[in-house]
Every structure is written in C-alpha cells, then in structure tokens.
Structure 1
Amino acid sequence: MDNLYALLVMSAAASGLYVLLRLSRRWTHRYFRATWHYYTHVLLYSFFLLPYFKLVPLLGLQLPHVQPISLGTLAPGGSPAAAGYAAFAFLDLLPYLAAMGSAVFLAVILVQNSRLHRRVFSLCEIADDPEIARALAACRKELGIAKNIPVYLSPYTSTPFLCGIFRPKIVLPAALDFTPEEYRHVLLHEMTHYKRRDLWLKCLLVCINALHWFNPLAYWARRDVDRYCELSCDEKLVQSMDSTERKRYCELLLTVLWTAADQRVRLYSAFSSERKYLEGRIRMILNSQHVTKKRAVRAVATTLVLAVIGTASAYAASGGVSQDAGAPPRELPEGAGVISVQYPDGTVKSYDRAGNEVPPQAKEHAVPQPIDAATQQQIEEVLSEIRAYNEQGLPAPQAHLDKLNELYGIKPYATK
C-alpha cells in the first residue's frame, strides 16, 4: 500500500508540474528553444517514475509535509463501522486494480503496434533508388553514424518514420517522389532521431504511462514530449540552413501533410500533425536562432526551479511515505488518541491517529474488555441519553462520557 501511495504522490507532483508548464507556455515559447521544452518535459515525465522527494531527508532538509488522510471510521469499543471496513477492503484491492490497468494498457499498445507493423510491412520493399542511397550515405557521414540503417518503401504509409529499437529502419511512403534535397532533409530528420535514441525514450515513456494509466495528464504530457521531440529535431536540422533552405523545408512538411490528407490517413508521425501544431512548427523553423549565453543561463535556472517545486510539493504530499519502509512504527506519545479495530476473525489491533499500528508495549490501554448482556444494556441506556442531549442541540455531560468509557473498559490517556 505504501508503494501505491508513493505512486499517487508522484503522479500528483508530475501532474502539477505539467499544468504549471502548460500555463506558462506562452512565456516559455517566447524565450526558450524547442530543445529546452523537449528535455524539460522529459525531466517532468521522470517525476512520474522517480521518487525525488525521498532525497529531501537524505540531504538533511527540513520541509513541511501533510499527514496522510485516515480512511475509515471506527466504532467505539474497537468494532469497525460498516463504512470504515468497506473502505479498508477496497484499499486492499487497489494495488491489484492498478496492476491490472497497467497490464491492459500495455496489451493494447502491443496489439496496436503489431497491427501497424503488419500493415506497413506487408508490401514493403528495400529502396534501391541511387538517389536515396547517396542521400543516406551523406547523412550518415554528416551525423557520424557508423550503423547501416536500411530504407524501405511502403504503399501503406503516407509519412516518413523511423521504427525498430533493436533493428532500426526508415520507412518512406512509396507514393511520394522526393527531390534529392528533400531526401536529404527527410533522412537527416529520421537519423537524428536514431542518434539521440528517441525511440528508446519513447518506449520508456509508454511504460511510465502504463503505470499512470488512470491519470489523463500523463497521456497529455507524453503527447507533448513527442511533439517537442519533433520540434527539437527540426531545430537541430535548420541551425545551418539559410532562410531559403528553411522555406523549402517547410514546403516539404506541407507537401507530406497534403498527401496524407488526400489519402484520408490520420496523422501521427514526424512529418504531420494538427493545424495549430504545424503552424507553430513552421514558425519555429523560420525563426529559430542560436542560443545566447543569457538565454542558456535563464533556461538552466528555470529548469532547476521547476525541479525544486516538483520535489518540494511531492515531499509535502508524501507525509510518512518518505520514511524507510523497514522502520518500526513510531512510539505513541503520551496523550495521543488510540483507536482499536476488531476484525471479523476476532483479532484486535490498535492504531494512532496517523494510522500507525501501536507497538505491543502501548496496546495494554487499548484492548477492549469483553462485554456481557447486562453491560451492553447499560451501554444502550447511556447512548440513548447522549442521543437525547444531541437532539436538543446540547453537548453530552462529561459524566455520561466517562460512564460510557467505563462500561467499554477503556482507560483514556491522560492529556497534558
């Protein structure tokens, strides 16, 4: 259960960071490059996986945190109320439900990718065009890639893409006839993805998304990582281009998009997307500038601030989760309240207000005494009198409460 609570804390912290980035997007787009947005969103997504908040105690920092919410209401005398017992039973099922959701998510992704792979490669053939071979060799030399990545032509794809983690390959649409310069641009784009290991990162993000299948913001954040991945790749390509070459590169994007729209194929890959995203992509290509020292310092500082905010908020929400899992329950301080739970099998356990089980040496005050029929009748009479006071809007006299504790065999802790 602690692992599930930690997962929920990480999900909430990462979601909060994502919302913060979304709200500040107008400002960040003005001052920061697409590459900064890409790696910042990757850092943000790592908050879904890594418990950074556990570093706070290790660094000796003292930050405030809130106590976890106590679930379930317990009846007097150690018998759990129906609602409380149902809550405990449901909580026991949550880890299994979370694991089941992750398994279903991954199964759906695998089936979708398997179908896409079979469709695309059903009539796929190796590209034997000498123009493609020359462009591929030039791109490998320019990027310093020794591995020979094959290029395929497929009639069932409308946009170029890179696929295959262990055996990478570039797939081009057979219906499009590119010029030598366009082949160079397309292959440079896809081979840049290969050099940066973007496919490996996307696979990792899918696995993280599977853990947080219940959080819609995890899906939106992964979509934004994919988009900024394409933008940062474009940005790297156009750094050495003049304005004329950049315009031709934008024309290439529009040509591919127009062809895909004619075939009524939904747009997913690097060279296609929704209208607003495409407009922003073209605007970035035409206006991309070199990084100045001032902007670099500002970008690093902003990233550090976001990381600190995410870590601090996760630690504040974690409560006792950041403690060592093997640590014994903390000692019950004098004057703290204790509640006893009697389970259906007759087992009696006591807990403090934070939900920690009371150590054996402190349980002697919390174990309820057996109640006979006569005592139960007296309890009902006292409870009836207390209800009568409550119906009149009056507090129950202390003597009635003391009598009720005495009948239940509970010795209250002395308060300081």
Structure 2
Amino acid sequence: MISIQWMPVSMLLLQGLLFSAAIYLLQKTTRLSPRLFYLFWYALLLRHLFPFQIVFQPGILPDALPGFIPLLPGIESAPSQSLTLLNLLPTLWLSAVGIILVTLLLNEFRFKRLLDTIPAPEELRRYLPRANPTLSIQISDRHSAPFIYGIVKPVLVLPIAMLTLPERELRAIFAHECHHLQRRDNLHKLLHTLISVLWFFSPAVWIARRQCDDYQELFCDIHSLKTSGLEAKHYAQTLLNAAAGRYSVPISFSLALSRIDGGKESLRQRLIFLNKHYQKEFSMQLKKMHILVLGIFIALMTVAACQSSEAEAPKFNTEPAGELSQKTSLNQSGDDSVKFIPYDVPPMMIGGVKALAANIKYPEKAREAKIEGTVIVQVFVNAQGIAEKFKLLKSIPNTGLDEAAIEAIRNTRFEPAKQKDQNLGVWIAIPIGFKLQ
C-alpha cells in the first residue's frame, strides 16, 4: 500500500545538506548553464515547502491469514505523557517562527517609515523598458544603490547621485532593475522568505536561498548587458561604483527586492562571471541535456524520499502462524490447531477496547530502542470468556512487543461467543499497535 506522509525533519535536514553539497560540487567542476543551477537550488527550496515522503507499507494482515478468522478493531498502546524535549519542540518552533515574522514586519514598517523619496524627473521615464512603461520612479538621497521595492505596486528607487550617469549606464541600470519585475523576482523572493522563516534551522534552506538570490542578480546582469550595449568590463565597473557606498536604511531586512551590489560575496561572483565567462553570444536557454540533468536531479530527490521512508518503516515478521507459534513460549499447551467454529454473536471485550488498551504495557527494551509497530495475535477465547491459546500472525521479534501484546490480551476478559444462546470458544485475531509519542 502506498501513502503520502510527512518526512521526518532530521531526514530532510540530512538530505538538504547532501544535495547542497552535490550542487555546489557541480558548480565548481562543470560549466553547465547558470539557469540550470538556479533551478537546482529552487527545487531544493520547494522540497522544503512540500516535505512529504512516499511510504510503501506492507498490508496490515499477512497473505496467509485465514479468511474465516474475525479481526477485532486494532488497539494502540497509550503513549507516554511525560514532558520531554521532544514534546516541547513544536512549541519552540512555533515561538521562533512567530518571533521571526514579527521581526520582519517591524523591519518592514521601519523601512517604510524611513523611506524618504521624491518623484523622479519625468525625462527619466524614457529609460524604462517597454515592458514597464508605468513603473513609478522615485529619487532618494539616503541610498547608494538602486532597488525595486514593493509587491503589489512596485517602485524603482534611484540614488540621487546616479542622475549624472551617462545615458548608456542609466539604461543598463533600468534594464537590470526592471528585469526583476519581468521575472516576478519580487514574488519569488517573498516565497523564499516564507520558506526560510518556516525552516530557519535548516542550513540547506539558507544556502539555497542565497544562491537563488545571487542567480537572480546574475540573470538581470546578463539581460542588462544584452539590451544596453555596454561592454562587460564597463558594466562591471558600474557595479563597483554602485557598491562603493553604504545603505542608510537596512534594506536587507525588508521586502525591498533588488540590490545592484547584491552583497560583497555575490558581487565578487558576478564580477568573476562577467570578466571571465560572459560573451555576447552567451545563451541562457536550457538545452536538452540540461533538461535531462534537471529531470535526473528531481528523480533523485524523489527516490531519496522513498528510500528514507522504507528504511524507517517497521519490519514485521510475516512467517506462517504455525512457525511463529513454535517460537513463543506463552501458553502453547493443548490442541494448537485453528478450526473454524460457526457462531451467531462474536466474543466482545468486557469494558470495550479501552479495557484492553489499559492492559497494554510498552516494553522498556522497545521504548529505549524507539521500536514501533503492530503485532497481530490470533487468540482462542473459551466458553468462559478467557483467552487461553495464542498464535502470532504478525510478529516483531526480540523486542518484547510480542509478549506485551499477548499479556495484554490474556489479562482482558471477554463476553464469550454465542451460538443459539450457547456459549462457545472461538478463534479471533486482534491487532495491537505500539507507537511512541
């Protein structure tokens, strides 16, 4: 049986680090398209937004289970209610997420309050690309680099010092910033921020987010070079000039989208690319080989999720009942053959399933080893309502769970089965689940 379940956080953290290392190694040793690496990092981010795994579960009953044995409702052992660090983790996570969100909102409010701009001269609008003819342009003397700010109604903010730049450099800057809007990078950055808040404890998420931001800047650099006609070295010098100053307002902590300097490390990588690798005929299009590599990467992420779920699935012993009955030493005297006895009313637990659940004791050995699973016991309930014979249909050997399940059933009294108002003994099957909190 196939089901979709949440992937354990520890497993997802480990997978994120492994895939991050693999992508980083490819970046350093190959010359694949930057767009392909951007999609790699983006896929890694989205993996954390959908942290599910495909679980291949064996059926609850073994294939050899006799069809005439009635199966009573499954019972699960009561989880421990002791207050542990694991119990506190969800609360700690929610608290941390709340603090981060409040901090982001406060920084956003502070940024808006300190954002002191005036409308730009109308003649600057002629530098806007055709795709953004109505974009609002503002001038500020509190910032040293241009940026796009806003989600619903974005605004292009220009430092006042840039008004004296040559026309070609201004066109390059406008092309860079406006290309962010054409790519919907403001929405992508908002999504990246959301994932980073939810997975604030994951190094892979922060690495992937930074890489995505850097590639977004690089793509806009390439677009700007193609549309402005500037030489790569001249454009690189423009980037350095824009990075010479410092921000007076902490843009990095707001939803302001684009920083033309992109941070020191990002700027260094962009300058290396522009000076060493960029050529006018450089293409950002994905080739068939790139699409194949991306497909293999996504397939590996999917397979890793399936493998991890299978590794954590409890292993059940599904040997035939006869073989299992020889292994257990609990109440195996008398006639062990299972015979179907017709009845009108099945046996019922006195006190219901709660009575059986109260008798289940989680073995300390299994608890310490964090072993979970389901044991299915075939039990003979005699005419007096006493469970007196047992066979294991599904076993978790050498854990104490088999013995605990049998002992719980032995200590439970039943209303015997009836046929024509006469009590009689019959065989039934009872599954008992053991699950730690």
Q: Give the distance between the partners of 1:221 and 1:155, measured in 2 at CA.
A: 33
Question: For 1:251-290, what aligned pairs fall within 5 Å after superposition?
Answer: 251-260=237-246, 269-286=258-275, 287-289=277-279, 290=281
Q: After superposing the two structures, state which structure 1 stretch, 183-192 or 301-310, moved more.
A: 301-310
Aligned-partner SS, 1:171: strand
Match of 1:133 in 2: 125
The residue identity in structure 2 corresponding to 1:271 is I
Determine if contact 1:235/1:284 at 8 Å carries over to the other structure: no
Determine if contact 1:159/1:173 at 8 Å carries over to the other structure: yes
Q: Give the distance between the partners of 1:124 and 1:276, measured in 2 at CA.
A: 29
Task: Say whether residues 1:124 and 2:117 are aligned partners.
Answer: yes
Determine if contact 1:35/1:231 at 8 Å carries over to the other structure: no
Decide whether aligned partners of structure 1 residues 357 and 294 sit closer, same or farther in structure 2, where only a CA change above 3 A counts: same
Q: Give the distance between the partners of 2:112 and 2:285, measured in 1 at CA.
A: 46
Q: Give the distance between the partners of 2:222 and 2:245, measured in 1 at CA.
A: 24
Aligned match for 2:205, one of 218, 221, 231: 218
The residue identity in structure 1 corresponding to 2:26 is S
Question: For 1:74-223, what aligned pairs fall within 5 Å after superposition?
Answer: 89-120=84-115, 123-130=116-123, 132-136=124-128, 139=129, 141=130, 144-145=131-132, 148-177=134-163, 178-223=165-210
Aligned match for 1:367, one of 393, 408, 416: 408
The residue identity in structure 1 corresponding to 2:373 is N
Decide whether aligned partners of structure 1 residues 292 and 111 sit closer, same or farther in structure 2, where only a CA change above 3 A counts: closer
Determine if contact 2:117/2:139 at 8 Å carries over to the other structure: yes
Alignment RMSD: 4.2
| Deviation of 1:18 (Å) | 1.2
Decide whether aligned partners of structure 1 residues 116 and 85 sit closer, same or farther in structure 2, where only a CA change above 3 A counts: same
Decide whether aligned partners of structure 1 residues 110 and 259 sit closer, same or farther in structure 2, where only a CA change above 3 A counts: same
Aligned-partner SS, 1:367: helix
Q: Give the distance between the partners of 1:293 and 1:179, measured in 2 at CA.
A: 28
Q: After superposing the two structures, state which structure 1 stretch, 85-94 or 166-175, moved more.
A: 85-94
The residue identity in structure 2 corresponding to 1:312 is V
Decide whether aligned partners of structure 1 residues 107 and 264 sit closer, same or farther in structure 2, where only a CA change above 3 A counts: closer
Report the TM-score, using the length of structure 1 for normalisation.
0.65
Q: Give the distance between the partners of 1:4 and 1:53, measured in 2 at CA.
A: 6
Aligned-partner SS, 2:204: helix
Determine if contact 1:162/1:171 at 8 Å carries over to the other structure: yes
Q: Give the distance between the partners of 2:245 and 2:125, measured in 1 at CA.
A: 24
Determine if contact 2:118/2:140 at 8 Å carries over to the other structure: yes
Match of 1:403 in 2: none
Q: Give the distance between the partners of 1:87 and 1:235, measured in 2 at CA.
A: 58
Task: Say whether residues 1:45 and 2:45 are aligned partners.
Answer: yes
Aligned-partner SS, 2:139: strand
Q: Give the distance between the partners of 1:293 and 1:278, measured in 2 at CA.
A: 20
Determine if contact 1:158/1:173 at 8 Å carries over to the other structure: yes
Aligned-partner SS, 2:408: coil
Q: Give the distance between the partners of 1:172 and 1:255, measured in 2 at CA.
A: 14
Match of 1:21 in 2: 23
Determine if contact 1:159/1:271 at 8 Å carries over to the other structure: yes
Task: Say whether residues 1:229 and 2:216 are aligned partners.
Answer: yes
Determine if contact 2:35/2:286 at 8 Å carries over to the other structure: no
The residue identity in structure 1 corresponding to 2:243 is L
Q: Give the distance between the partners of 1:266 and 1:145, measured in 2 at CA.
A: 26
Q: Give the distance between the partners of 2:285 and 2:183, measured in 1 at CA.
A: 26
| Deviation of 1:129 (Å) | 4.7
Determine if contact 1:158/1:256 at 8 Å carries over to the other structure: yes
| Deviation of 1:97 (Å) | 2.3
Determine if contact 1:127/1:151 at 8 Å carries over to the other structure: yes
Match of 2:288 in 1: 297
Q: Give the distance between the partners of 1:151 and 1:38, measured in 2 at CA.
A: 29
Q: Deviations over 1:100-142 (max 9, x none)?
A: 222222222222222223222xx21111251x12112xx1x1x
Structure 2 portions without partners, runs of 5+: 58-76, 253-257, 329-356, 379-391, 393-403, 412-437
Q: Give the distance between the partners of 1:158 and 1:187, measured in 2 at CA.
A: 15
Structure 1 portions without partners, runs of 5+: 59-78, 324-328, 339-344, 371-416
Q: Give the distance between the partners of 2:188 and 2:285, measured in 1 at CA.
A: 29
Decide whether aligned partners of structure 1 residues 8 and 103 sit closer, same or farther in structure 2, where only a CA change above 3 A counts: farther
Question: For 1:312-331, what aligned pairs fall within 5 Å after superposition?
Answer: 312-319=303-310
Q: Give the distance between the partners of 1:322 and 1:291, measured in 2 at CA.
A: 49
Aligned-partner SS, 2:152: coil
Q: Give the distance between the partners of 1:5 and 1:91, measured in 2 at CA.
A: 16
Q: Deviations over 1:254-301 (max 9, x none)?
A: 1111233xx788895531145453233123234324467997233222
Decide whether aligned partners of structure 1 residues 349 and 204 sit closer, same or farther in structure 2, where only a CA change above 3 A counts: farther
Task: Say whether residues 1:356 and 2:381 are aligned partners.
Answer: no
Determine if contact 1:127/1:153 at 8 Å carries over to the other structure: yes
Higher strand share: 2
Q: Deviations over 1:70-111 (max 9, x none)?
A: xxxxxxxxx99xxx9688743333222222222222222222
